[in-house]
Amino acid sequence: GLTDDGADLTLVNLSPSESRRVLLQAGGMAEHRFTDVAVDDGSRHISVRDKVLEVALPPRTQIRLGLGMERFVHEPSLTPPW
């Protein structure tokens, strides 16, 4: 779901043999900032403090992320995150 200060996201890698890397951007124009990430059941919390987050997914895996965010802290930008 989506709230004023975060979003829940599930990522899945269906490949049986290839790892995948996914870049997540906080906001359509990078205007927000990730503050922290709760992984899967919330047993791991990672401090982020950036507008981009990279997630590595091994083959045949699924991960649930609870993304904490501060909204409208950056000037909107069309610069790609990579």
Please report the DSSP string for 8-72 in residue order. EEEEEE--SS--EEEEEESSTTS-SEEEEEEETTTTEEEEEEESEEEEEE-TTEEEEEEEEEE-S
What pLDDT score does 60 carry? 97
- pLDDT computed for residue 41 by the predictor: 75
Low-confidence ranges of the chain (pLDDT < 50): none
Taking the model in full, what pTM does it have? 0.86
